[in-house]
Structure 1
Amino acid sequence: MAAQDGPSAYARSVLRIIDARTGEPVDAAPARRGLTRVEAHTEGFDVTALRILLVADLLVRALELGGTPVWALLDEERQQAELRAGAAALGIRPFEDGRDAASGLGEAQVLHVVREGGAEPDGVRVAVAPVHAEAPPDEADPAALRLALLSRRRSVPLQLDTAALADAHDTLVRWRGAVATWAQRPSRPIPDEVRAELRTAWEDDLDMPGVLGVLRWVETAPDLPDGARFETYAYADRLLGLDLAHDLGNPS
């Protein structure tokens, strides 16, 4: 990972998202940090619906990390209980019922997270490609399933099979163990270039594979203090929601 000069490392500070209506990037939040509404349209309950909710959750987290107030809504009449239970298992924070929010709260921006080729509400549309599940997701470790769903850009169809879930599980176990070990070392700040790489990735249309790639580099980067590795993983986990500090106090 190449180091960057200080000022340029923070040159990109706005989350940009591809609007499915035009194929062009737009600011996910207004410059004045007004309220942004993130509305998920799942169209039923399946693994793709969970991916839609996860993308909406990532949008909320990324916007909040940037200081933008967010109102998260679920616009779905069918199988709400299943959707909410599945979302909770994946660590997705609760959404309000969009059916009760027609009047709005004077939000400055509305982002609709939809299935690719699905609903076409007015406003910016964040399209999510389908998940083709060959393995029963309800039998998977929820955190591993979340990581597997994060492994591809939201615009890329995802093949979810036993191998993908096993790889995600192994990565999660390794990272949680490493974080628990690094936590025992003296704390060190996140290097500016690493923080910039993380933000550049997630502000580029929620490039989660890019974020995960930075973490893989940090995991084994030479001459990086373990305390800085810990702080980097803790910082990134505010977005990823993988509970990477799960094993603190019980390092492997």
Structure 2
Amino acid sequence: MLSIVDELTGPGPLRICAHAPQDGDPGDLTGLRVLLVADVLARVVELRGRAVLMGWTGPQVPSADGAGIRPADATGTLEEITGTLGGPPVVHITHRAFEGAGGASLRVGEASATEPQAVDQDVLAVRVLLLGHPHHEPVAVTSEEITAAVRQLARWRRAVADWAEEPSKPMAADLVRTARAALEDTLDTSEVLRLLRGLETAGEVPAGAKFETFAHLDRVLGLEVVREIGRPRSAGAPA
């Protein structure tokens, strides 16, 4: 398995290339998932203080922007990307074995939506569902799961907004340490989500610490949990 700490340290920017597959069935989310894994990897590396340059090959993925995925610094063929980024990518994110020469590769499992139209509900909800599974395992998301994820994100955003009004406290250090280790060893976002679900209801953790922890880890998860801060609670919003 890819270990960011062991394999991706070094001077200068880290060059990553995401290889999105050709368009599949209407419910195919594999291209989105490839870009998502590349996005998360870039966020983890940047959180450690190293700059990242991102290239994409393959077709455009229209849902990428709605899913909070950072734009590419270069697109086109691998040769074109190498020229634009000032050197060859060191890491390749693919949905199958990488056939190019040089660099490490990270393989991403196929993903799909059982009801393609349900993805339009909220692409960030699809993001949290994909992040809830190890990146190498195939996953199929249902419309019911997307609806539940929409509600979870709404609840977290409201909770974070409420916690932000309480006195600030240091992050939950042990939880953050465990989460960072999971991300840096194997990009285990599912473990980070599990930890945050436990933190949400942890009565012994001050609200200010919950806020700081959620906000910090969302720099990697990219779920926009802070976007309700300062907004009035809407009618019917979750308590």
| TM tier relative to shorter chain | 0.7 to 0.9
Distance 2:185 2:69 in 1: 21
Matches within 5 A, 1:43-82: 43-45=21-23, 46-76=28-58, 79-80=59-60
Is 1:33–1:67's contact at 8 Å kept on the other side of the alignment?
no
Partner of 2:90: 110
- Aligned counterparts of 2:128 and 2:114: Cα–Cα separation in 1: 17
How far off is 1:105 after superposition? 2.1
Report matched runs for 1:23-172 at 5 Å: 27-30=6-9, 32-45=10-23, 46-76=28-58, 79-80=59-60, 83=61, 85-95=62-72, 96-99=74-77, 100-103=80-83, 104-106=85-87, 110-117=90-97, 119-122=98-101, 123-136=103-116, 137-172=118-153
Instruction: Please state how far the C-alpha of 1:27 moved relative to its aligned partner.
Output: 3.0
Describe the shift of the 1:68–1:193 C-alpha distance in structure 2 as closer, same or farther (beyond 3 A): same
1: CA distance between counterparts of 2:127 and 2:31? 13
Question: Which letter does structure 2 place at the counterpart of 1:61?
Answer: R
Separation (CA, whole Å) in 1 of partners of 2:196 and 2:219: 13
Measured after TM superposition, the shift of residue 90 of structure 1 is 0.7
Where structure 1 has 5 or more consecutive residues not aligned to the other structure, the ranges are 1-15, 19-24
Alpha-carbon offset, residue 221 of structure 1: 1.3
Contact between 1:116 and 1:130, CA under 8 Å: does it hold in 2? no
**Take 1:241 and 1:58, find their aligned partners in 2: how far apart are those partners?**
8
The aligned residue for residue 208 of structure 2 is 227
1:194-227 deviation line (CA, Å, top 9, x unaligned): 2201201211210001010111111111221100
- Cα distance change, pair 26–196 in 1 and its aligned pair in 2 (3 A): closer
* Alpha-carbon distance in 2 for matches of 1:40, 1:161: 25
Task: Tell me the SS of whatever aligns to 1:89.
Answer: coil
Q: Paired residue for 1:246? A: 227
* Residue pairs, 1:203-214, within 5 angstroms: 203-214=184-195
Distance 1:130 1:101 in 2: 24
**SS at structure 1 position matched to 2:93:** strand
Matched residues, percent identical?
A: 36
Question: 2:19, 2:57 within 8 Å by CA — same for their partners in 1?
Answer: yes
CA distance in 1, matches of 2:50, 2:76: 20
What's the offset of the Cα at 1:28? Answer: 4.1
**What's the CA shift for 1:98?**
4.2
Which amino acid in 2 is paired with 1:190? M
Gap regions ≥5 residues in structure 2:
none
* Separation (CA, whole Å) in 1 of partners of 2:121 and 2:96: 25
RMSD after superposition: 2.0
